[in-house]
Structure 1
Amino acid sequence: MIINRSRFLNNVLVLGAITLSSVLTACNNSGTTQESNSQAASSSGETLKIAVIPKGTTHTFWNSVHAGAMKADRELDNVEIIWQGPHKEDDRQMQIQVVQNFVSRGVNGIVLAPLDERSLVPPVKAAINRKIPVVIFDSDLASKDYASFVATDNFAGGKLCAQQMAKLLDGKGNIILLRYSEGSASTHAREEGFLAGMKEYAPNAKLISTNQYAGATMEKAFQASQNLLNRFANVDGIFCPNESATQGMLRALQTAGKAGKVKLVGFDSNETLVTALDQGTVHGLALQDPFNMGYLGVKTIVALIKGEKFEKRIDTGVTMATKENINDPKIKTLLTPDLKYLQEQ
């Protein structure tokens, strides 16, 4: 049988256009319904279902975010927090599916930490089209359709790490920047802040590697760190922009017998990194306030749904922890956040 290829393609295009038009019409109609349902739930005292979606669920950072979200849940009446995210921070497709599923379920609001600033734009737009408000936290999105952004000033955090590095090395030496992962807006801002800070605070230092990535897991970070240490034996200082990259580099330095000799400045904390900070094998940790991110993210989305005032941009702050200030009450709270709210679930 002979098929006219041109006619066949035209028919496919026409059918595709008809299908797309039907889908868009359905989305628009369901969006109107969602808007009225959200308003009804808020005004009638029905339980508001809030989806909180982290980048991953394995790092200590996300446990702190979860605890903060649950504290807000305890303080708010008629609110149910649904916590779900990908296991690993490089599983873009899983996070996209999680957002899409919550949109389909018709939750009243979404609090999201996008693991990729571009890939998560379409699902967020789909939520907005369904009249589901979205608050972004931790890492920015390459679209400003969302209602509020709750996060660290990551560029300033990167500069703070550069300032610490310059202080440790008297403004000179060979420096490595081990980046985290392409597409992560938060860590990219830290990396760029660090580079800008090194120019400002240590113009005589030499950046010998700035284009290598750790990857989303500690194991990948360890492998990338070993490769860098093998290539650049004469290194004086290293900056890593997140928890897993910092721990992977620490392990590589320990394996190479260079822990404590090479100055290591990192971002975020866990039990291993706190111990290393106290022992002098990590020389600075930029601490965010993930507990407060989760707490304020939930508080903000509920205020938005109820028509109350809320902030468009909330800076949750960043602080440098060192061996010298590790016992300061504020630093101790950030290093070891209270996770009791997770035990009360």
Structure 2
Amino acid sequence: MQTHKKIVWMLVPLLALGAYTTILLQSVQTESGKDKSIIIIMKSNDIRTEFWQTVRAGAKTAAKEFQAKADIRGPLQETDVHEQIGLVEQAIAEKPQAIVLAPADDDLLVPVAEKVRQAGIKLIVIDSPLDGNPGDGFIASNNLDAGRKAGRALASMTKGRPAVAILSDKGSSPTATDRENGIREALAADQPAAVVGTRYAANQEELAYQATKQLLADHPEINGMICLNETATLGAAKAIKELNKSASVKLVGFGASIYEIKLLEEGVLHATLVQKPFNIGYLGVKAAVELIDGKKANPRDNIDSTVVTKENMYDPENQKLLFPFVER
């Protein structure tokens, strides 16, 4: 009987230690982030869209690193603003601790973004700003500086005498506005520079193609075009190639899709501004985790872009930008 009592008394501290260890492990698990729930809502979740799939890869990498539960969603088309609003409404109902949002419209998403804050959910905005900055933090490419780089690149290609047309998505886009302002600022430094005007293609390659053909017909003096997104770049390249003007019209675009890389190799696209979408996704989730942990996020994180040309596209650093590993 005495032996049994000794065994029982020996087990008591062991059981207490086990209970303490369990509590400690639960505490460590909580601090490590396994209970952190984040919903990421992109402009597009289309697997064919290189930019957003790379944003997705960055977000997934950060979620794994910080041991957060991340659910990534988005409409098929970037232009489907109302579907994105519905996705945000659904996310609010699910009550995650944070939402990372790439708004498809800087104005129409504001009311639902304010609902996120009212629900006590942390909000990080990525890629494009919202009117009034309702988020807890904003992470995006430095589009004004990217525009300056595009303008300077074209000025150097046209030997300081550019006659330029700008092809944009829509006039109300803050991203496009910043890029165009940067382009005009850079070109203004070259006194002989002339900007023929800006045309809008509504994020449609066919409209960009038609607009380019019309511009080149109406303004034969054009020796350079700057396109502010991938669809505009592809549409303009198609027209320039069809008209056999690749040598006389220098084309500068934005993006790093496989189609743009091919155009670089062919010499139809003379330079492209490559963003760092992986960084945007990664830093968006990282900022969300910091907010959940009670830390402050930077009000604004600007990410640089890189000018890639046919001559430097095979440099090791540029190869990483052009061919990031993306898990689909």
Q: TM-score, normalised by structure 1?
A: 0.81
Counterpart residue number, 1:208: 196
Q: Which amino acid aligns with 1:177?
A: I
Counterpart residue number, 2:164: 175
Residue 256, structure 1, aligned to residue 246, structure 2: no
- CA–CA distance in structure 1, aligned partners of residues 45 and 204 of structure 2: 12
- CA–CA distance in structure 1, aligned partners of residues 266 and 209 of structure 2: 20
Q: CA deviation at 1:262?
A: 0.8
Q: Which amino acid aligns with 1:197?
A: A
Among 312, 324, 328, which residue is 2:315 paired with?
A: 328
- CA–CA distance in structure 1, aligned partners of residues 326 and 173 of structure 2: 26
Q: Which amino acid aligns with 2:39?
A: A
Counterpart residue number, 1:57: 45
Offset from partner CA, 1:299-338 (integer Å, 9 cap, x none): 1101111113532221221111111211111111111111
Residue 73, structure 1, aligned to residue 63, structure 2: yes
Q: Which amino acid aligns with 2:226?
A: F
- CA–CA distance in structure 1, aligned partners of residues 30 and 172 of structure 2: 36
CA 1:220 to 1:289, structure 2 compared with 1: closer, same or farther past 3 Å? Answer: same
Residue 148, structure 1, aligned to residue 142, structure 2: no
Gaps of 5+ in 1: 1-40
Counterpart residue number, 1:283: 270
The residue correspondences of 1:18-33 to structure 2 (distance < 5 A) are none
- CA–CA distance in structure 2, aligned partners of residues 272 and 185 of structure 1: 25
Q: Which amino acid aligns with 1:249?
A: A
Query: Does the residue aligned with 2:196 lie in a helix, a strand or coil?
Result: strand
| Contact preservation (8 Å) 1:42, 1:306 | no
More divergent stretch after superposition (52-61 vs 330-339): 52-61
- CA–CA distance in structure 2, aligned partners of residues 221 and 99 of structure 1: 31
Gaps of 5+ in 2: 1-28
Counterpart residue number, 1:243: 230
CA 1:115 to 1:45, structure 2 compared with 1: closer, same or farther past 3 Å? Answer: closer
- CA–CA distance in structure 2, aligned partners of residues 232 and 328 of structure 1: 36
Offset from partner CA, 1:253-281 (integer Å, 9 cap, x none): 12222234310001111111112112221
CA 1:92 to 1:323, structure 2 compared with 1: closer, same or farther past 3 Å? Answer: same
Counterpart residue number, 2:298: 311
Query: Does the residue aligned with 1:238 lie in a helix, a strand or coil?
Result: strand
Counterpart residue number, 2:115: 126
Q: Which amino acid aligns with 2:91?
A: F
**Root-mean-square deviation over aligned CA pairs:** 1.9
- CA–CA distance in structure 1, aligned partners of residues 206 and 183 of structure 2: 24
Query: Does the residue aligned with 1:47 lie in a helix, a strand or coil?
Result: coil
Tell which structure's C-alpha radius of gyration is larger: 2
Query: Does the residue aligned with 1:187 lie in a helix, a strand or coil?
Result: helix
| Contact preservation (8 Å) 1:157, 1:190 | yes
Among 221, 225, 235, which residue is 1:234 paired with?
A: 221
Q: CA deviation at 1:218?
A: 2.5
The residue correspondences of 1:76-115 to structure 2 (distance < 5 A) are 76-77=66-67, 79-115=68-104
Q: TM-score, normalised by structure 2?
A: 0.85
Q: Which amino acid aligns with 1:74?
A: K
- CA–CA distance in structure 2, aligned partners of residues 44 and 256 of structure 1: 58
Query: Does the residue aligned with 1:140 lie in a helix, a strand or coil?
Result: coil
Q: CA deviation at 1:233?
A: 3.4
Identity of aligned residues (%): 33
CA 1:183 to 1:99, structure 2 compared with 1: closer, same or farther past 3 Å? Answer: farther
- CA–CA distance in structure 1, aligned partners of residues 113 and 247 of structure 2: 44
- CA–CA distance in structure 2, aligned partners of residues 241 and 196 of structure 1: 15
Among 105, 108, 122, which residue is 1:116 paired with?
A: 105
- CA–CA distance in structure 1, aligned partners of residues 217 and 70 of structure 2: 46
CA 1:62 to 1:236, structure 2 compared with 1: closer, same or farther past 3 Å? Answer: same
CA 1:57 to 1:265, structure 2 compared with 1: closer, same or farther past 3 Å? Answer: same
| Contact preservation (8 Å) 2:139, 2:302 | yes
CA 1:45 to 1:152, structure 2 compared with 1: closer, same or farther past 3 Å? Answer: closer
Residue 265, structure 1, aligned to residue 252, structure 2: yes
Offset from partner CA, 1:5-62 (integer Å, 9 cap, x none): xxxxxxxxxxxxxxxxxxxxxxxxxxxxxxxxxxxx9669663321111222342111
Query: Does the residue aligned with 2:252 lie in a helix, a strand or coil?
Result: strand
Q: CA deviation at 1:110?
A: 1.0
Query: Does the residue aligned with 1:285 lie in a helix, a strand or coil?
Result: strand
